[in-house]
Amino acid sequence: MLSFDSQPWLARSRQRCIAACLLVAGASMACAPITPIKHPEAKVAEMPPAPAIVYVPTVEPVDTAARHLLAYQETLSRLPTADLSRELGRLGDGASSLQATMDLALVLGLTRTSGDLAKAQILLDQVLGNPSPEAQAWHGLARLLAARYADQRRAEDQVERLNQQLRDVQKDNQRKLDQLNEKLEALKSIERSLNSRNTPGPGPAAPQASSAAKPVQKP
């Protein structure tokens, strides 16, 4: 039996056949359409919507007290004196709450009535002396009003002292004027007395001529 190795021309033919087959297979693969490899689509997990965050501002009791007192001050500044008196009647003694006490102190500071400013200071001292947590929110405002009322009282006392000094000067001037008028009237009285003494009185009466003429005697 013949082998390919013993016949060189047969070995060369075999190699050519193998090369031709490989060439045909490569050309077939080159001409064939390339089919893209399909990958399974990745599914994106849907996340639930984030909850809405609502920021609720925290209002401190101090802020609430300050807002109330500023608004009340603005309201009182537009009221006439008669309405301030009615507001005093509505508040009473201010003992119903700390807010009513501060409101009453604020009204008393605006009435310009003698003694009301001292009453307002007493009410503020009561608030400052209250150690409760509720009163702590009003302490800053009470100190502010107390300082303002103290300055106001000092100014009013100074004005009163100046007015009293002016009244004393006016009284002294009036007293001196009355004394001068009295002296002037006394001098006028003396002058009138002297004038009356220096005025000459009426002289002796002249002899009246007789009604019948006496006859002239001839020598």
What does each of the 219 residues of the chain score in pLDDT, given as a tens digit?
444 444 565 566 666 666 666 665 555 555 555 555 555 565 656 777 777 777 667 778 899 999 999 999 999 999 988 899 999 999 999 899 999 999 999 999 999 888 999 999 999 999 999 999 999 999 999 999 999 999 999 998 899 899 999 999 999 999 999 999 998 888 888 888 888 776 655 555 555 544 444 554 544
d(CA 132, CA 204) in angstroms, rounded, equals: 111
Expressed in angstroms, the distance from the first to the final Cα of the chain is: 255
DSSP characters over 39-52: PPPPPPPPPPPPPP
pLDDT tens for 68-81 read 999 999 999 999 88
d(CA 13, CA 136) in angstroms, rounded, equals: 114
Burial letters 86-97, b for 16+ CB under 10 A, else e: ebbeebeebeee
Q: Which of 185, 184, 112 is nearest to 149 (CA)?
A: 112
